Amino acid sequence: MASTEAADTSGRSTKRLVNLFKLSRRPKPIVGVTPADVIHSENKWRLLRYRNPRPTVKTPVLLVPSLINRHYVLDLTPGKSLVEFLLAQGHDVLCIDWGTPGPEDRFVTWDDVAGRWLGRAIRKAAALTPRNQVHVLGYCMGGTLAVAHAAAQGPGPSPIASIVALAAPVRFTGSGLLGAWTRVPGFDVQAVTQALGNVPWQLLQTSFLLLRPTLNLAKAVNLIDRAWNDRFLDSFLAMETWANDNVALPGAFYRSWITDVYQADGLWNSTLSVLARPCQLQAIRCPVLAIAFAQDGIAPGPDCAALIERISSKDKALHMMAGSHVGGVTSREAASGLWPLLSGFWRQRDEAAAES
């Protein structure tokens, strides 16, 4: 037994050294490759519909990612893709790809994104079925946008069948370090956007890295320790590909995001609006599932969980799960826990709607 363990350890050590030596020549991971068609495009953003010839769940699912990161975090690699999983469960899946803003997009506003563009994506997706409704999953900033959009809708029929707010804060007075930094008196968001136009991705990425200054060192240690494992190595490189594929934010949108959402806590305080319509969390009555992660330093759990206490929905639930902001959505644990939870939530609501 001891000799077998020694041989395993020796084999891993050799494999680790070989993999590290060849790391720069290792083929780049395949990311975001689930086949999809562009069913609408406008300015830089596109609405993707993933190919599923025979969906069995009637109501489509629209994924709304953050504007800061690429949408394919939800379709990372084969075997680690929420999109791939949902298609296999019979869902008709769509996703917004926000694209890459150019210098001419510095004047793209909060109303453009949270009102006009998101509204069109929701209506386009809803129109795919006779029911004329769509389940909306908003992740991170995308979840805040989805909640704000829904909270600004008046009475009457809505194309939103349900909302999943995935690691999506709605209260910002306690939003950890990010919230504290936005309220520092020396932070002049107006001066930043006037000088830079769009806010560079390097500036945004640095702010997230400062949340955990030792993160890169920890990742390097983990990489060296587990480099013998090809499966881990491929997953690690895929995640690093996504994590370093960031985009700038339109300047006008960023000003509103900081001043109206973070500093004024406008969604929670009911001072925020979308297309001149006030955002009232109490106006949300559709089924809502809020998911927060216990180790989330970007969207602290309590600020995501707060959604449930304000909305008027009778069908509402909160799941506080283990994991971090990204790992909680893309890990093997997510594939066995979070992903089936999401699929089951939508399937059950469709069955209930069919019976009513």
CATH of the domain at 346: 3.40.50.1820
- Which residue shows structure tokens 């644990």? 333
Residue 101 falls inside a structural domain: yes
How many other C-beta atoms are found inside a 10 Å radius of the C-beta of residue 42? 13
- Type of residue found at 6: A
- What b/e sequence results for 122-161 when a residue is b if at least 16 CB atoms lie within 10 Å of its CB, and e otherwise? bebbbebeeeebbbbbbbbbbbbbbbbbbbbbeeeebbbb
**Short-list 233, 241, 285, CA closest to 26:** 233
Residue 347 falls inside a structural domain: yes
Q: What's the rounded Cα separation, in Å, for the pair 87 and 69?
A: 23
Residue 9 falls inside a structural domain: no
Q: What's this model's pTM, rounded to 2 decimal places? A: 0.92
Q: What's the rounded Cα separation, in Å, for the pair 334 and 96?
A: 21
Burial class (CB in 10 A: 0-12, 13-18, 19+), 326: buried
Q: What's the rounded Cα separation, in Å, for the pair 50 and 34?
A: 7
Residue 264 falls inside a structural domain: yes
Note the pLDDT tens digit of each residue in 75-111: 999 989 999 999 999 999 999 999 999 999 999 999 9
Residue 4 falls inside a structural domain: no
Q: What's the rounded Cα separation, in Å, for the pair 35 and 128?
A: 18
C-alpha pair distances (Å), 58 with each of 55, 128, 164, 198, 335: 7, 10, 17, 40, 23
Beta bridge partners of 137: 63, 164
Residue 255 falls inside a structural domain: yes
Give the model's pLDDT for residue 39. 97
| Rg, the chain, Cα only | 21
The residues, any chain, with a CB within 8 Å of residue 168's CB and separated by 6 or more, are 138, 139, 140, 141, 142, 143, 144, 146, 147, 290, 299, 304, 307
Residue 2 falls inside a structural domain: no
Strands (DSSP E) along the chain, which ranges? 36-42, 45-50, 61-64, 93-97, 134-139, 160-166, 273-274, 277-278, 288-293, 316-321
Residue 60, domain extent: 31-200+248-355
Residue 220 falls inside a structural domain: no
Sign of CA dihedral 200, 251, 116, 284: positive
Domain count, the chain: 1
Question: How would you write the pLDDT of the chain (356 residues) with one tens digit per residue?
Answer: 445 554 456 678 888 888 787 777 888 888 999 999 999 999 999 999 999 988 999 999 999 999 999 999 999 999 899 999 999 999 999 999 999 999 999 999 999 999 999 999 999 999 999 999 999 999 999 999 999 999 999 777 899 999 999 999 999 987 677 888 888 888 889 999 999 999 998 888 888 777 778 777 888 888 888 878 788 888 888 888 888 888 999 999 999 999 999 999 999 999 999 999 999 999 999 999 999 999 998 899 999 999 999 999 999 999 999 999 999 999 999 999 999 999 999 999 998 887 66
Helix (H, G, I), strand (E, B) or coil at 197: coil
Beta bridge partners of 258: none
